[in-house]
């Protein structure tokens, strides 16, 4: 597939997601990075977003809970180029009923070439990157060219 460039602005749109056994770990990471995160626009799946907002006072757009469609809502926002980064603390040792939605969310993040942190270590690397505070150009699929080829 052909690619094009997308400009990701200095103020990033960051999605926060955590499985039940990882919510406290994500909350701890958010508290440690509250000052940096407050400079960006935050989204989260339902329960996670409400917990983080209540505990930190950060403004978060909370979507539906993951099992109720929140993962799919985030995937849609990624496709619409409205999410720049995904921080998803997932529990690799516990299966969840909505595992197919989780896999779909991670697949869409890969398709649209957005950075994904899956644990504290990768989230720490991502948030401490100099790119967090600057405009960044990134390559994404050229969907318009793809569609034009298919319809021609």
Per the annotation, does 75 bind a ligand? no
Q: Is 137 helix (H, G, I), strand (E, B) or coil?
A: strand
| The two three-digit tokens of residue 124, written as one number | 């720490």
Per the annotation, does 46 bind a ligand? yes
Per the annotation, does 61 bind a ligand? no
Judge residue 88's burial from the number of C-beta atoms within 10 Å of its C-beta, 0-12 exposed, 13-18 middle, 19 or more buried: buried
Which helix H or strand E contains 16, and what residues bound it? strand 13-18
Sign of CA dihedral 90, 91, 97, 103: positive
Known catalytic residues are 71
Per the annotation, does 23 bind a ligand? yes
Per the annotation, does 98 bind a ligand? yes
Per the annotation, does 48 bind a ligand? yes
Annotated binding site for substrate: 19, 23, 45-48, 65-66, 98
Annotated binding site: 19, 23, 45-48, 65-66, 98
């Amino acid at each position: 597939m052909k690619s094009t460039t997308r400009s990701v602005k200095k103020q990033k749109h960051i999605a926060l997601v955590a499985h039940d056994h990882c919510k406290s770990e994500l909350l701890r990471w958010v508290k440690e990075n509250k000052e940096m995160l407050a400079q960006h626009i935050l989204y989260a799946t339902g329960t996670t977003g409400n917990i983080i907002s209540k505990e930190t006072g950060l403004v978060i757009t909370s979507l539906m809970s993951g099992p109720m469609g929140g993962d799919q809502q985030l995937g849609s926002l990624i496709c619409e180029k409205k999410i720049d980064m995904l921080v998803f603390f997932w529990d690799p040792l516990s299966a969840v009923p909505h595992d197919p939605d989780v896999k779909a969310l991670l697949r869409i993040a890969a398709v649209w070439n957005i950075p994904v942190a899956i644990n504290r270590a990768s989230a720490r690397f991502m948030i401490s990157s100099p790119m967090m505070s600057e405009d960044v150009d990134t390559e994404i699929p050229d969907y318009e060219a793809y569609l034009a080829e298919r319809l021609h």
